[in-house]
Chain A
Amino acid sequence: MFKLNLKIAWRNLWKNKIYAAINIGGLAIGLTSCLLLLLYAGYEWGYDRQFKNSPHIYQAMINLNDQKGEVIRTINQSQNVMLAALKEEFPEVLYGARITDVYKRLVANGQESLKLDSRYVDPDFLKLFDYHFISGNSTKALNDPNSIVLTETAAKKIFGTTDVLNQKVRFENQVDLKVTGVIKDLPTNVTYGFESLTTFNLYENLNQWPKKPNWGSHDYYTLIKVNENTDIEAFNMKLKGFVGKHFAAAKEDVFIYPLTKLHLHGAFLNGKSIGGNIKQVQLFVGLSIGILLIACINFMNLATANTQGRAKEIGVKKTMGASKTDLVFQFMLESFILTLTGVLLSIILLEFSLPMFNRLLEIDIVFDYLNPANWILIFSVLLITGFISGSYPSFYLSGFNVIQSLKKSLNFKKGYALTFRQVLVVIQFGFSVVLIAATITIYKQIQFIKNTPLGYRSDGLLEMPHEGLLYEKFNLLKTRLLSSGAVVGVTQSSGSISNKNSSVRGLGWDEMSESDKMIDFDQMYTTYDFTKTVNIRLLAGRDFDQKFASDTAAILLNKKAVEVMHLKRPVGTSVIYQGKKRNVVGVFDNIVWGDPSKVAAPMVIAYADISDVITMRLNPDKNLSESIGTINKLAKELNPDFPVEIKFIDGLNEIKLKNEKILGTLANLFGCLAVFISCLGLFGLSSFSTAQRIKEVSIRKILGASITELMTLLSLSFLKLIFIAIVIALPVAYYIMNNWLMQFELRTSLNLWMFMATAMLIMVISILTITWQTYRAAKTNAVDALKNE
């Protein structure tokens, strides 16, 4: 029986090749998209779960409170003394480690010198995470302050081999370190990634500030492992007031949060987690289900549309004693054969599309054929797809009345059967409409943010790190750069113009209110020529000037700062800044510093010779690559130990929209796929439907209908469905996209034309899809069609 059914299924597919191709092709594309998205969801879900200790690692988080004790903000960095204090006072805390932000650090061994993503960590970091050590001892690797642990790739980049235990490297051109371990490269889905690890002790030895116990500054990530049977909620209750006990002025509470939840549920509001990347994962899972559903709907529609061909078979089988179960089983089998073929094809497609997908999202997913989890995933997708797509046709077909099916007068009861199919088409196209509308909205928002004035001129603006010998030789570099003619402006600052890296509160001025103490000001340090180089518009006063010695104690405010401080005559006012009185010498226009979708924050630019970044404006009259070459040469001459890294501000600003861009690309990609699969289905369905109506068409033709009239007649029944789909889906799309836009402070508006364009696009595509079929039907020779009856 099984074998016979199998054979018949193959013969049926072979007979209806186009139908089979549409079905399998649509399924394969749908399945590939679904698998890609699910693999990505799995990748995101797997964040930080790779380690033995993962379930018991917690991160110390800080809730910053206002005067009334309400949580204003939750931050994930804590004080340098937090770990020691927690360990000392709570036996639940077994061990832990402080971790610095990841920075590019110069690592050299004489021949090679390059910058590695590095972190300073406490030795127990290696106890928290059981990295795979290729060489070296994981328990002792970071015990000596002057030791360094490298990843496999990093070791190969510097030494060309991983066999580098006890080799010396020069770190930051300051100190010699011994390689005490080489570990396998980390997966990319870890929060605390790195290429090299050095000790926190070294950090304290190289700099003065980290060593001093300081309850006032939150600079480090603190990870702890707690006793496995600790009640975390109770523990967090105990932590209330803990910081205040040590530092009376603090208005904050520490709590611990599972590391495994940090990536997906890392967004906090009022001290409570409100999600985070999980939203993206949910979105992707939703998208994958949607696409798969569209593919399944194709299957159901085409299979049921094909009933006329199968009706006789069903009737005869029933008179031979086939039970409904037998028939359901047979159709299910056919559905599974199609699905299986689709799955096999989709695995091939997956192989080809995964690298592109990885590049697009800048992630690193591999489909591991040896991993049973992947096969379970594929197998369940196969089962679900086969079942969903097979169920409706199976039950629908097997329920046929014998006499009707044998008489070939299978009059589909107008109503039920057809309506269900129509509903399916509406769902398909509704989904496609939402995706297309989403794509348009996302692109419009990106465009909107891009077109929002930055407040400075970003084109022709370059930056490079201020490091090594460039500190002492900055003025020399500046003079040489300017005299070379490659650039027209050079300045130094504590942060890049493209990225917000610091803020301060507690500024003081006359007539301020108590609550003004809580205002956060963006802050940046610079010396001379900043506004001129970056091209920030000065609204009042002037920039810092070497002619005025007093300018070394001056500050600049932006327009927003003047507004929130209610300063009537800002220039000349004195402001208490970081405990010292400073004079405002100028007011500059608001600039986009941090998140480009946010309204500009109040900002202070203070004079101080603290700098991490050198910013330059290219000479517009000179050749770009020559100028870059000149800058490279001059910087290398003055700071030979460091590679020169020049970045374009335009490029850096571009990166800030990465998430939105990815979302846009995905919506675009999967939107197009959804439309394509839907159209495949529509194509198949229209071919069946026109075939069924061929007699009607022929009679109308004999009665004198023109080809255009016939095509309109045939198309209309489908276009009606598409129209319904559009009418239903547009409000849904509006609602979803309106919600999405809410997360941006600066947002574009949703216009009518976007939705009109979506509707038009879908309509045109549908018409093109149907036309070929209807044209063919309208052109058929009436006599032939009627003779066949």
Chain B
Amino acid sequence: MIDLKNIEKYYASKGIKHYVLRHVTTTIKQGEFVSIMGPSGAGKSTLLNILGMLEEPTYGTYEFMGEDVTSLNERKRIELYRNHIGFVFQAYHLIDEMTVYENIEAPLLYKKIGGSERKSRIADLLDRFNIVAKKDLFPNQLSGGQQQLVGIARALAAQPSIILADEPTGNLQSAQAEEIMQLFQKLNKEEGITIIQVTHSEKNAGYGNRILHIADGVVKDDVAVSNNVKI
């Protein structure tokens, strides 16, 4: 599904190149649950941003579903966002002026999905995540864990094939974090959604089935994880 070849990213300032990523080459298949780990400043988030096409690599090729997307035009990229990619953020990034219901609805509106279909999908998601009662509340009326649930529901609304999560539990207490991770695992196992997350926590990485260790912009280690954490 994702094919990275020799991805490099650097910022040039005063003639000196500051590398963020070097020679990143990897393949991620459909249905994998990959965790990207590493110390602060290692380039995890940059890699995730490149995967999410929010940043362009300085060098290298990136194929997403068989298509070269290293320099994709705006329209095509928007198409990918609408149909294939869901983002989950550490700070949830719900739109404060929208209710829970509206937040989940927004991507469907951009995807131009009809009214009745929209309703049933949102109802389904609210139901699955146990937040039906909260649907008319605004983000600031929810706890962090609940906000992140809404964030994930919103990412799932457009039925993406891949979810990119940047430290999804970074702002949460451990119980809530666990809940979110279990949800990810379930989505991955039961619905076959590819998940790529950036995390600091070994425990969280344990929910996935592969870990990419990054340090100083280089992939140091690529290990498979035997699923020892119960659902």
Known: A319-B54, A319-B81, A403-B49. A324 touches B110 (CB 8 A): no
* A406, closest chain B residue (CB): B93
B89 at interface (Cβ–Cβ under 8 A)? yes
Is A316 in contact with B81, judged by CB distance below 8 angstroms? no
Overall SS of chain A's interface:
helix
Shortest Cβ distance from B53 into chain A, in angstroms? 10
Known: A319-B52, A319-B87, A321-B81. A8 touches B109 (CB 8 A): no
Residue of B55, B106, B111 ringed by the most chain A CB atoms within 10 A: B106
Contact with B along A1-34 (1 / 0, CB 8 A): 1001001100110010000000000000000000
Is B110 in contact with A320, judged by CB distance below 8 angstroms? yes
Cβ-defined partner of B89 (8 Å) among A15, A318, A322, A406:
A406
A317 at interface (Cβ–Cβ under 8 A)? yes
Which of the four size classes fits the interface of chain A?
20 to 34
Shortest Cβ distance from B164 into chain A, in angstroms? 9
Of residues 47 through 72 on chain A, the ones whose CB sits less than 8 Å from some CB of chain B are: none
* A408, closest chain B residue (CB): B91
Complexed CA–CA distance, A322 and B83 (Å): 12
Chain A residues whose C-beta falls within 8 Å of the C-beta of B109 in the assembled complex: 1, 4
Is B95 in contact with A313, judged by CB distance below 8 angstroms? yes
Is B97 in contact with A11, judged by CB distance below 8 angstroms? yes
Is A317 in contact with B95, judged by CB distance below 8 angstroms? yes
Is B87 in contact with A403, judged by CB distance below 8 angstroms? no
Complexed CA–CA distance, A315 and B49 (Å): 13
Is B93 in contact with A403, judged by CB distance below 8 angstroms? no
Which of the four size classes fits the interface of chain B?
20 to 34
Chain B residues whose C-beta falls within 8 Å of the C-beta of A1 in the assembled complex: 109-110
Complexed CA–CA distance, A323 and B83 (Å): 13
B57 at interface (Cβ–Cβ under 8 A)? no
A582 at interface (Cβ–Cβ under 8 A)? no
Is A320 in contact with B75, judged by CB distance below 8 angstroms? no
Is B97 in contact with A323, judged by CB distance below 8 angstroms? no
Of residues 139 through 188 on chain B, the ones whose CB sits less than 8 Å from some CB of chain A are: 154, 158
* A322, closest chain B residue (CB): B110
Is B97 in contact with A312, judged by CB distance below 8 angstroms? no
Is A321 in contact with B52, judged by CB distance below 8 angstroms? no
Known: A319-B52, A320-B154, A323-B78. A4 touches B93 (CB 8 A): no
Complexed CA–CA distance, A236 and B51 (Å): 80
Cβ-defined partner of A321 (8 Å) among B91, B95, B158:
B158
Chain A residues whose C-beta falls within 8 Å of the C-beta of B74 in the assembled complex: 323-324
Is A321 in contact with B111, judged by CB distance below 8 angstroms? yes
A112 at interface (Cβ–Cβ under 8 A)? no
Contact with B along A69-104 (1 / 0, CB 8 A): 000000000000000000000000000000000000
Cβ-defined partner of A403 (8 Å) among B54, B79, B82:
B54
Chain A residues whose C-beta falls within 8 Å of the C-beta of B83 in the assembled complex: 321
Is A316 in contact with B97, judged by CB distance below 8 angstroms? no
Chain A residues whose C-beta falls within 8 Å of the C-beta of B32 in the assembled complex: none
Chain B residues in the interface with A (C-beta under 8 A):
49, 52, 54-55, 74-75, 78-79, 81-83, 85, 87, 89, 91, 93-98, 102, 105-107, 109-111, 154, 158
Q: Which 8 A-B pairs have the closest CB atoms?
A: A321-B82, A321-B81, A320-B107, A1-B109, A319-B87, A11-B97, A321-B110, A316-B93
Given contacts A312-B96, A322-B78, could you give 9 more A-B pairs where the C-beta distance is less than 8 Å?
A4-B106, A7-B102, A312-B95, A313-B95, A316-B93, A317-B106, A320-B82, A321-B83, A323-B78
Chain A residues in the interface with B (C-beta under 8 A):
1, 4, 7-8, 11-12, 15, 312-313, 315-324, 326, 402-403, 406
11 contacts between A and B (CB under 8 A): A8-B102, A313-B97, A316-B89, A317-B110, A319-B87, A320-B81, A320-B106, A321-B79, A321-B111, A324-B74, A406-B91
